[in-house]
Structure formats: structure tokens, C-alpha cells
């Protein structure tokens, strides 16, 4: 993994601290956090500084996708979901297929403003085409916490579903607040190794804790992108499968195949044998194991 370019470079802890995710960025007025999606606003009278979302309602991508593409295989199969993304991410995966938006900030992302009501209107308009609601996906939705919360409330009131496709890397207090509003999640479990997570700016324990919280409250499926030489040790596969089974052996588990992209174009696609090996290990403990792109 190209750790020199993929690793996090935290802003200094001066300024106002954002506690939305484990980065705990200190943000100065005019600056942004590590995710490039949160900044600081200065109250004109009190001069109080508060952390604000810079990507609220600013969508970079909108598409009507089959629900299986999220991937969610056990949640309204055969339906469609209006899928939206914004810009920014709190991780730096060197294989990110959406790096043009996930690594972008307010000054270099092309966006269209869609407020939460307008998003729900749009979702309703697609109902005739099989749409069941909105999936917040493509870039990391948890860093758009306020928008997801506001939109999900309206979607719920209108009988529509809210789905998150997420890296699961947010502080649990925020996660718990969103959970009652969300109907299903696909959470990335990128590795079972803290060093791996540290290289991409994430935190394994935070993700594991949030998977447990989610499984207790809403439908959850998990995805692991398997990369030869990175997260392919048998021991890691065993420990990951054992963890998932300890939460519930019924959690659908998607093993996804790596293809060269972004900063990892010098690597080969994951070998089919590696994919099959993980499938076998996972199947010993889990009921639903799916291989992607084999």
C-alpha cells in the first residue's frame, strides 16, 4: 500500500475541535478538517466559533441504483434506491474508486444543492420506478451527519427508507443519534488489523463498536475489499469472520475483489484463489457469504 501518500496528515489541534470522528480535528477559521467537509463558522455578534458542515445538501452524484449495488442483498431485494453522494471523506484509501469526490473539498467539487425536502420529493418521484428511498453513499456520508439526519427524518415521515453505505468511522455518540433514523447500512470492514486502519486514517475499534451498535438497531451487511498482500492473511480472515459471527452469523458478508485504481494502479487484481480461500473461511462461521466481481 502506498502509505506515503495514503496516510493521514492531521491539522494541528489548535482551533475548534470537531468530535464527529476519531480524527478529532482542530479547525481554524477559514480552514477545514481532515475530511475537507467540515469547517468553522464565526458568529458575527458573539464571535463564537462552531464547527459546521461545508457539504450540507451539496450533492456531487445522484443515481437510481438497484439496491444490490450498494451492496445490500437482504434488504428489499429487486428494489431501486435513489443514491446520492457529496464530497469529502475522513479516510484516505489509496484504492478509492470515487477519489474524485471523496478527496475533494468545497473549492474543487462540482455540486448541486438539494435540501432535505427536495431530496425526499425526488425520492418520491422515483417511487413509480421501484424506488424505496435514499442511499447516502459514494463518498463518506457520516461526515455529512447533519444533512443525513435532517433528510432521514423527512424520509421516515414520508414512509421512505434511508440507507447508509459507510466506512463506519464516526464517534459512537453521533452514530447512536442517527441509528433510529436509518433502515439499513452496508459498513466496510476493511481489515482486522489496526495498523492497516491507521495507514488509511481510520480506527478499527471504532468501526467494530459501530457494527455492534448497528446490528442491534437496524439491518446491516458488511463488505471487505480483499487485497493480496494487504489484508489476505489466513489469521486475519479467521479473526474477521469470528468477530462477525460473534455479532450475528446471520449478517450478510460481501467479499469484494480489488482492482487497480487511484494510487494503487501498480497492483494486480486480487487472485481468485485468495477470494475463494476467504469465502471458505467465512462460510464456516457465517450463513451468507457473497463474492463480488469474481
In the numeric block, the cell 494502479 is attached to 265
Spell out the alpha helix ranges (H) of 158-218.
172-178, 194-199, 204-217
Q: Binding to ligand SF4 by residue 199, rule CB under 6 A?
A: no
Binding to ligand SF4 in span 134-153, by CB under 6 A: 139-140, 143
- Strand (E) or helix (H) holding 243: helix 234-247
Q: Binding to ligand SF4 by residue 254, rule CB under 6 A?
A: no
Partnered with residue 255 across adjacent β-strands are 224, 291
Asked if residue 162 lies in contact with residue 151, where contact means CB atoms within 8 angstroms, the answer is: yes
**What span, in angstroms and rounded, lies between the C-alpha atoms of 189 and 196?**
11
Binding to ligand SF4 in span 30-59, by CB under 6 A: 33-35, 38
Interface region with ligand SF4, contact rule CB under 6 A, candidates 18-26, 53-61, 126-134, 179-187: 18-26
- Strand (E) or helix (H) holding 125: helix 116-125
The residue number with the shortest CB distance to ligand SF4 is 33
Q: Which is nearer to ligand SF4, 55 or 131 (CB)?
A: 55
Measured over all CA atoms, what is the biggest interatomic distance in the chain, rounded to whole angstroms?
63
Q: Which is nearer to ligand SF4, 131 or 139 (CB)?
A: 139
Q: Which is nearer to ligand SF4, 20 or 72 (CB)?
A: 20
Axis-axis angle for helices 116-125, 145-157 (nearest 10): 50
Q: Binding to ligand SF4 by residue 25, rule CB under 6 A?
A: yes
Q: Binding to ligand SF4 by residue 187, rule CB under 6 A?
A: no
CA distances from 257 to 17, 77, 176, 191, 280 (A): 37, 22, 31, 13, 15
Q: Least CB distance from residue 84 to ligand SF4, whole Å?
A: 14
Asked if residue 281 lies in contact with residue 238, where contact means CB atoms within 8 angstroms, the answer is: yes
Q: Which is nearer to ligand SF4, 139 or 214 (CB)?
A: 139
- Strand (E) or helix (H) holding 90: none
Phi-psi region of 26 (alpha: psi -120 to 50; beta: other; left: phi over 0): beta
Q: In terms of residues, how long is the chain?
A: 294
Q: Least CB distance from residue 89 to ligand SF4, whole Å?
A: 3
Q: Least CB distance from residue 260 to ligand SF4, whole Å?
A: 14
Partnered with residue 27 across adjacent β-strands are 16
Binding to ligand SF4 in span 101-130, by CB under 6 A: 102
- Per-residue contact string for residues 71-90; x = within reach of ligand SF4 by CB under 6 A: ------------------xx
Q: Binding to ligand SF4 by residue 91, rule CB under 6 A?
A: yes
- The single-letter DSSP state of residue 189 is -
Q: Least CB distance from residue 98 to ligand SF4, whole Å?
A: 5
Q: Binding to ligand SF4 by residue 167, rule CB under 6 A?
A: yes
Interface region with ligand SF4, contact rule CB under 6 A, candidates 17-25, 173-181, 240-248, 275-283: 17-25
Phi, psi angle pair for 145, to nearest 5°? -45, -50
Among 1, 15, 16, 23, binds ligand SF4 (CB under 6 A): 23
Q: Least CB distance from residue 73 to ligand SF4, whole Å?
A: 20
List residues near ligand SF4 by CB under 6 A.
18, 20-21, 23-25, 33-35, 38, 89-93, 96, 98, 102, 139-140, 143, 167
Amino acid at each position: 500500500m502506498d502509505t506515503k501518500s495514503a496516510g493521514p496528515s492531521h491539522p494541528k489541534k489548535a482551533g475548534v475541535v470537531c468530535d464527529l470522528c476519531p480524527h478529532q480535528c482542530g479547525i481554524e477559521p477559514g480552514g477545514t478538517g481532515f475530511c475537507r467537509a467540515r469547517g468553522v463558522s464565526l458568529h458575527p455578534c458573539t464571535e463564537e466559533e462552531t464547527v459546521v458542515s461545508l457539504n450540507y445538501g451539496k450533492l456531487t452524484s445522484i443515481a437510481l441504483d438497484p439496491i444490490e449495488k450498494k451492496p445490500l442483498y437482504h434488504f428489499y431485494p429487486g428494489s431501486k434506491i435513489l443514491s446520492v453522494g457529496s464530497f469529502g471523506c475522513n479516510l484516505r484509501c489509496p484504492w478509492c474508486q470515487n477519489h474524485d469526490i471523496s478527496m475533494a473539498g468545497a473549492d474543487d467539487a462540482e455540486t448541486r444543492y438539494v435540501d432535505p425536502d427536495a431530496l425526499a420529493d425526488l425520492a418520491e418521484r422515483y417511487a413509480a420506478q421501484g424506488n424505496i428511498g435514499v442511499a447516502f453513499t459514494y463518498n463518506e456520508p457520516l461526515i455529512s451527519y447533519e444533512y443525513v439526519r435532517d433528510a432521514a427524518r423527512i424520509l421516515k415521515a414520508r414512509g421512505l427508507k434511508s440507507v447508509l453505505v459507510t466506512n463506519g468511522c464516526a464517534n459512537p455518540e453521533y452514530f447512536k443519534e442517527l441509528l433510529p433514523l436509518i433502515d439499513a447500512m452496508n459498513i466496510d470492514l476493511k481489515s482486522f488489523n489496526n495498523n492497516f486502519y491507521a495507514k488509511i486514517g481510520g480506527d478499527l475499534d471504532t468501526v467494530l463498536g459501530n457494527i455492534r451498535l448497528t446490528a442491534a438497531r437496524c439491518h446491516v451487511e458488511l463488505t471487505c475489499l480483499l487485497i493480496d498482500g494487504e489484508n489476505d492473511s489466513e489469521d486475519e480472515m479467521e479473526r474477521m469472520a469470528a468477530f462477525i459471527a460473534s455479532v450475528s452469523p446471520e449478517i450478510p458478508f460481501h467479499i469484494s475483489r480489488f482492482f487497480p485504481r487511484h494510487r494503487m494502479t501498480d497492483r494486480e487484481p486480487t487472485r481468485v484463489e485468495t477470494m475463494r480461500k476467504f469465502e471458505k473461511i467465512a462460510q464456516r462461521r457465517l450463513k451468507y457469504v457473497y463474492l463480488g466481481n469474481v
